[in-house]
Amino acid sequence: MSSKLKKAAKLIIVNIVLLLIVLSLLEGMLLLLVRNPDILKHCPRRIGNMIGYLYARERPTIQFEAECARHDPVLGYTLKPGSCTFGGREFTNRYDINSLGVRDGEAALGHPEIIVAGDSFAMGWGVEQDETFAALLQHRTGLKVLNAAVSSYGTVRELGILRSVPRDRLKYLIIQYCGNDREENREFYLQNGRLPVMTAERYEEYREIYQESQRYYPGKYLGMKIGKRWEEMEQKRRQEQAPKLDRDEIDLFLYALQNSGLDLEKATLIVFVMNGRNPNDNREFPAALKRKLAAGDYPSYLKDMLVLDFSSRLGPEHFYVLDDHLNATGHAVVAAELAQVIAGRGRP
């Protein structure tokens, strides 16, 4: 080999070694931040959002934890009756689950006066059972409250699980909406008021994928960052190829309510959105819902629903740093506002 070729080969090797060192340092930095939220809270929001994305891809997920959840032939899954412990890097909490498969006591199933429907935010992901806004609301109002929220449910399943609950004394149905409800509501609309059910086999496949996501391997976080752009492109392509709908997100939500199979005429509906710590993500839906209801011809129970906006009441201090769920102080803010709204209307 000539001296020029030797020098070129040596230069290539040096550059490869330097690249590997740089990549290792970047991976190490990402690993440090993902595993240490106390450090992350001192970083700029942009960094926090980036690390939050990585954590969300591997964080513990209660609906796939064998001790806390089970397959359900009608709803895909519910929480598993009994008690379990579930947590992430910033919290660990006990869950007491009743026979319906929701995080509340058995007595709450007996003719509740207030029902809370929603996903992980309302369920109380990250807080103790007596710290959820549902539990705090019962203490503030003196009314019997059932927390029927289940992680990752969309509007259709949030209402579907209520068919097994006596509603003859129901005064208020509180619905916590999240942006990811849209896909479930969209599928419900496309299937003419029917939602395909996740089979037991499919549920186990998801559980296996989830368990694999918990494993760390060198380069995992860099791979996630690189793959994010590809996933965004794929998501855009799927959206472009998806059937065009004549209904927007608000229409799909209202369709789910009107076709839930529940008689909601005698209850007052209270709706608010919770997408995480970014206030802009929690501001658009309430405003659009109010406009739609004001302009459209809807049944009185929809026209009269109370639409709340928490975007100006909840700040970063009300959420976890790494996780995007409400902490105990955030639940307290939501409970106080709901109690004030109910007190202002009296007890119908």
Which H helix or E strand runs over 40? helix 37-40
CA–CA separation, 52 and 166 (whole Å): 40
* Least confident among 104-118, 273-287, 300-314: 273-287
Say what the pLDDT of residue 346 is: 55
Tens of pLDDT, residues 2-53:
777 777 778 888 888 888 888 899 989 999 999 998 898 888 888 888 898 8
- In eight-state DSSP terms, residue 169 is T
CA–CA separation, 64 and 204 (whole Å): 9
**pLDDT interval class at 277 (50, 70, 90):** confident
Average pLDDT rounded to a whole number, residues 168-191: 96
**pLDDT interval class at 244 (50, 70, 90):** confident
Residue 348, pLDDT > 60, answer no
Computed from CA positions of residues 267, 268, 273, 274, in that sequence, does the dihedral angle turn out positive or negative? negative
Residue 347, pLDDT > 50, answer no
Supply the pTM of this predicted model: 0.91
Say what the pLDDT of residue 271 is: 98
Tens of pLDDT, residues 138-149:
999 999 999 999
Say what the pLDDT of residue 1 is: 59
Provide the angle, in degrees to the nearest 10, between the axes of the packed helices 328-345 and 133-141: 40
Average pLDDT, rounded, for the chain: 92
Tens of pLDDT, residues 104-113:
999 999 999 9
Tens of pLDDT, residues 248-269:
999 999 999 999 999 999 999 9
Say what the pLDDT of residue 96 is: 98
Neighbours of 339 (CB within 10 A): 18
Residue, of 225 and 278, whose pLDDT is higher: 225
Average pLDDT rounded to a whole number, residues 52-75: 94
Tens of pLDDT, residues 198-219:
999 999 999 999 999 999 999 9
Distance of CA 255 to the CA centre of its chain: 21
Kindly give the pairing relationship between strand 82-87 and strand 92-97: antiparallel
CA–CA separation, 10 and 16 (whole Å): 10
Which numeric CATH code is attached to 105-197+249-345?
A: 3.40.50.1110
